Structure 1
């Protein structure tokens, strides 16, 4: 008698995503979610500092060079995440008007325009 049959398991390719530009961008976009989460946590800490009366301590922490560097990287990663998310919208949503399918470039253009307008309003509110 022989032992239990062994199943074939091909060796894992741990860098599979580097073999295609599309896969590399996909993995990079997914990794930027960590920086999106950091940005949300940072804003929650800011709100807690304002409401808790510890804004001076928060600004001291925010002014440290490593924190500034982290937030600059987070800004770039969040911008990349946002742009790629908005570019994927036409693939996830089909918009029809009286049977006519709205082209992808119009959906993308609308998304990017709305993002730009909301950013401009927020910039105006923060800097006035």
Structure 2
């Protein structure tokens, strides 16, 4: 009786190609996006129930995790917005809009929304 051939698994297949490595890194940053949502829900729950959100948010490990989360979500957002021209083809008068215009519009909208949010969060009461 013979056994079936099972090739060895290569768990580092994505490291051989930069595009694959960036893709896998972007997908892994989704974990940090999920943490940001959970953290926001914990803070909102503390505020609504009369608790002190700073008691949890001020812990050193939470601060370190949130700094890492900021970097990971920024990487996630930039790489996601850079992929938009590949998924969105816009034609104007029969001509395709260049990729840089779509990326520029996406990044400009992101900057504008971030500026508006920063204005409301950072303004003095």
For this structure pair, what is the TM-score category when the shorter chain's length is used for normalisation? over 0.9
Residues in 2 aligned to 1:91 and 1:59: alpha-carbon distance in whole angstroms: 42
| 1:22 Cα deviation from its structure 2 partner | 1.3
State the aligned residue count. 123
Could you tell me how far 1:7 is from its partner in structure 2?
A: 3.8
Aligned partner of 1:95 in structure 2 is 90
| TM-score, length of structure 1 as denominator length | 0.91
What secondary structure sits across from 1:14 in the alignment? Answer: coil
Secondary structure, aligned partner of 2:118? helix
Structure 1 residue 117, shift from structure 2 partner: 0.4
Displacement after TM superposition at 1:33 (Å):
0.2
- 2:19, 2:89 → 1: CA distance? 22
| Residue 8 of structure 1, CA deviation | 2.9
1:115 to 87, 110, 114: 110
In structure 2, distance between residues paired with 1:41 and 1:63:
16
What TM-score does the superposition give when structure 2 sets the normalisation length? 0.93
**Structure 2 match to 1:49:** 46
Residue of structure 1 in register with 2:12 after alignment: 15
1:69 pairs with 2:89: no
CA distance in 1 between counterparts of 2:6 and 2:94 reads 49
| Whole-angstrom CA distance in 2 between matches of 1:45 and 1:60 | 11
RMSD of the TM alignment (CA)?
1.2
Question: Which stretches in structure 1 are left out of the alignment for 5+ residues?
Answer: none
**What is the Cα deviation at residue 6 of structure 1?**
4.4
